[in-house]
Amino acid sequence: MSEALLRVRGLTVAFPTASGPGEVVKALDLDLDRGGSLGIVGESGSGKSMTSLAIMGLLPKGATRSGSIEFAGTELTALRERAMRAVRGDRIAMVFQDPLSSLNPYYTVGTQIAEAYQAHRRGVTRRQARRVAIAAMERVHIEDAARRVDHYPHQFSGGMRQRVMIAMTLSMEPELIIADEPTTALDVTVQAQILDLLAEIRADTGAGLILITHDLAVVSEVADRIVVMRDGDLVESGTAERIFTDPREPYTRMLLEAVPRIDDEIGLLRTTAGEAES
Amino acid sequence: MTDAPGTLLRARNLVKEFDVRGGGLFGRSARLRAVDDVSLDVRRGETLALVGESGCGKSTTARLIARLVDTTAGTIEFDGREVQALTGKDLHAFRSEVQVVFQDPYSSLNPKHTVERIVTAPLVYQRRPIPGGARAYTGALMERVGLDPDHSTRFPAQFSGGQAQRIGIARALAVAPKMIIADEAVSALDVSVQAQVINLLRRLQDEEGFSCLFIAHDLAVVRQIATRVAVMNGGRIVETGDRDQVFDTPKDPYTRKLLAAVPRIRPEWDAARRRNEAARRAREQEDAQR
């Protein structure tokens, strides 16, 4: 039997509003096995990004979180900030949509990877950290890593910057990678490379993956299990094959009908159940 | 040489160069050739999709054609007239014949103007009378793009992204253009909203018969809407052809690479889903008859 890496029960995230607390994630349950991959799919405002921030303990000010988040047997909601900081980045790492805003423009990428590594590994010398940075960049197939390590973020293309971000998360050998729309800002050919890279890393390191995306085609290629969210609610969850071959909820069916296909019949795109255009 | 009667827009050998600061601290100036010898035709009533990745020059090409920026070289002929030579009244007329719908509806709609003022602005700019009065005219246009005509006094921020994009489309339609340039007009929308706007554009084109230059990076979307496709890479058009030819038998290696990279839902999953959907409907009908 496979071991549970992440077990989320009744996760609720709320923000105070003029008319009382507004729940953006409502009593959500999630399960991810060690080495598994889970896709969280939804349109804007579905609460999918808030879910990932809640797991990371990175919710914006004012947000309240309730429910249980069990990671490898540890209840994360019971941890103090200091203990949570040891988990975050070290055992759970996050890749965001926009690598340029996640990297500091004033420091070389090597400095930033090394700094992140040193922050989590006590007693590591700068020289050792630099070697780790170069190795991580080589692992994500950045050519000439020994020279590129001294370059600044603006000297990298969007796809290369996302590789740098992934290199940074990898240097810590996390057990869980949470990728929030990691390829949304990238060109389609670069997106394919980054998705291949994530798959390769999972195969090599055995890390679990949570992929958060609005793109059903992307999630169909990456995830074994899928959770569909809408307005903070879990609409439907199941294996990728079940969701894509036999969606049970009308919203999931509508989403699948609305995706334009590159290799399917061309007709009116279904948008809401029974209604072609509204 | 005369135009084929079916051709609305003829662009020949378009070049656009920008001055850019060169590398290093010394600010050596350099020329960036964003559009490099681009020729294309848009026929009456068709949708030509211009596709490519970021920085390929597709949006700059659209801006050249709309005469929002000046060309470095090349010619653009629209409905038999030389676009770069247009001045005064003729340029004014051109501005109403070619309308642009942009990617971000919120930044292309004045946030301080009501829908009524936004949608009738092109007519006011043209100093044309508004048929039937501004309120009624706006209401009719809003209905055509699937918006509630009672909302004509609202402001853009009071609409969702998809609705705001419909306002942009209504504004474009207000002057009955001969061509609409849609620059990534559905790229920022959620998938279900995107599908609605694609369906809307197709229906309106059927009804009104305008031509469309559809700029996009998403090949699956392009396949839903294009009559013909031109693929750009590095400022050049690498391949032009009918939609099915480009998608089914792409000739250029770059087109093939682009198509291969598009993420796909497994066709066998889609087929199984359709079978299950049909079975479910049959069951529901049986239950209803019982």
- The complex's ipTM works out to 0.84
Sign for the pseudo-dihedral over CA of A139, A144, A147, A153: negative
Q: Which letter does DSSP use for residue A166 in this model?
A: H
Res B255: pLDDT: 96
Question: Which of B244, B270, B281 best probes binding to A when mutated, by most A CB atoms within 10 angstroms?
Answer: B270
> B192, A272: Cβ pair inside 8 Å?
yes
Quickly count: other Cβ atoms within 10 Å of residue B112's Cβ.
9
From chain B, pick out residues whose CB is under 8 angstroms from the CB of A269. Answer: 195-196, 198-199, 224
Is A1-91+176-259 in CATH node 3.40.50.300?
yes
Res A270: pLDDT: 62
pLDDT per position in chain A (278 positions), as tens? 467 999 999 999 999 888 888 999 999 999 999 999 999 999 988 999 999 999 999 999 999 999 999 999 999 999 999 999 889 888 999 888 877 778 899 999 999 999 888 888 888 999 999 999 999 899 888 889 999 999 999 888 888 888 898 888 888 889 999 999 988 888 888 899 889 999 998 999 999 999 999 999 999 999 999 999 999 999 999 999 999 999 999 999 999 998 888 877 666 666 543 343 43
Res A228: pLDDT: 97
| CATH number (domain holding residue B232) | 3.40.50.300
Three-class SS state of A156: coil
Measure A197 CA to nearest chain B CA, in Å: 14
pLDDT at B34 over 90: yes
Structural domain tally of chain B?
A: 1
Rounded to whole angstroms, the Cα distance separating A175 from A172 reads 9
Res B28: pLDDT: 61
Please indicate, yes or no, if residue B200 is contained in any of the structural domains.
Answer: yes
Residue range(s) defining the domain that contains residue B180: 44-62+83-251
Please indicate, yes or no, if residue B286 is contained in any of the structural domains.
Answer: no
- Residue A147, C-beta contacts closer than 8 angstroms, at least 6 positions apart: none
The per-residue pLDDT for range B273-284, each reduced to its tens digit, is 999 999 999 999
Nearest to A217 among B196, B265, B272 (CB): B265
> A43, B191: Cβ pair inside 8 Å?
yes
Please indicate, yes or no, if residue B91 is contained in any of the structural domains.
Answer: yes
Rounded to whole angstroms, the Cα distance separating A106 from A117 reads 18
Res A157: pLDDT: 85
The fraction of chain B above a pLDDT of 70, given in percent, is 95
> B191, A216: Cβ pair inside 8 Å?
yes
> A244, B266: Cβ pair inside 8 Å?
yes
A185 touches A158 (CB < 8 A): yes
Please name which of B249, B254, B223 lies closest in space to residue B53, comparing C-alpha atoms: B254
For chain B, which residues lie within 8 Å of any Cβ of chain A, measuring from their own Cβ? 53-54, 146, 161, 190-196, 198-200, 203, 217-221, 223-224, 247, 257-267, 269-270, 272-273, 276-277
> B190, A214: Cβ pair inside 8 Å?
yes
How many residues can be counted in chain A?
278
A168 touches A90 (CB < 8 A): no
Measure B20 CA to nearest chain A CA, in Å: 16
> Is A167 part of the contact surface with chain B (CB cutoff 8 Å)?
no
Nearest to A276 among B199, B221, B270 (CB): B199
Q: Which letter does DSSP use for residue A275 in this model?
A: B
> What does the angle CA A81 – CA A84 – CA A87 come to, to the nearest 5 degrees?
160
> A241, B269: Cβ pair inside 8 Å?
yes
Mean pLDDT along residues B5-11: 91
Q: Left if phi > 0, otherwise alpha if psi is -120 to 50, otherwise beta: which for B233?
A: beta
Please indicate, yes or no, if residue B106 is contained in any of the structural domains.
Answer: yes
**For B161, nearest residue in chain A (alpha carbons):** A44
Res A119: pLDDT: 85
Quickly count: other Cβ atoms within 10 Å of residue A205's Cβ.
15
Domain range list for chain A: 1-91+176-259, 100-173
Q: Write b or e for each residue in A120-148: b if 16 or more Cβ atoms lie within 10 A of its Cβ, otherwise e.
A: eeeeeeeeebbbbbbebbbbbebeebeeb
Beginning with the edge strand found earlier in the chain, give each strand of the sheet holding B29-43 in spatial order.
B29-43, B7-21, B73-78, B81-82
Rounded to whole angstroms, the Cα distance separating A19 from A7 reads 32
Measure B237 CA to nearest chain A CA, in Å: 18
Tokens of B24: 């290093």
Rounded to whole angstroms, the Cα distance separating A173 from A150 reads 22
> B258, A260: Cβ pair inside 8 Å?
no
From chain B, pick out residues whose CB is under 8 angstroms from the CB of A187. Answer: 53-54, 217
Q: For B192, how many CA atoms within 13 A lie in the half-sphere containing its CB?
A: 18
pLDDT at B25 over 70: no
pLDDT confidence tier of residue B127, bands split at 50, 70 and 90: confident
From chain B, pick out residues whose CB is under 8 angstroms from the CB of A253. Answer: 277
The per-residue pLDDT for range B69-101, each reduced to its tens digit, is 999 999 999 999 999 999 988 998 999 999 999
Please indicate, yes or no, if residue B222 is contained in any of the structural domains.
Answer: yes
> B258, A188: Cβ pair inside 8 Å?
yes
Rounded to whole angstroms, the Cα distance separating B103 from B222 reads 15
H or E, element range at A12 = strand A4-17
Please indicate, yes or no, if residue B58 is contained in any of the structural domains.
Answer: yes
Please indicate, yes or no, if residue B14 is contained in any of the structural domains.
Answer: no
Please name which of A241, A239, A218 lies closest in space to residue A227, comparing C-alpha atoms: A239
Res A274: pLDDT: 38
- How many interchain CB pairs under 8 A, A with B? 123
Rounded to whole angstroms, the Cα distance separating A176 from A37 reads 9
> Is A274 part of the contact surface with chain B (CB cutoff 8 Å)?
no
Res B76: pLDDT: 97
A208 touches A177 (CB < 8 A): yes
Residue numbers of A between 12 and 51 with CB closer than 8 Å to B: 43-44
From chain A, pick out residues whose CB is under 8 angstroms from the CB of B259. Answer: 262
Res B83: pLDDT: 95
Res A146: pLDDT: 93
> Is A263 part of the contact surface with chain B (CB cutoff 8 Å)?
yes
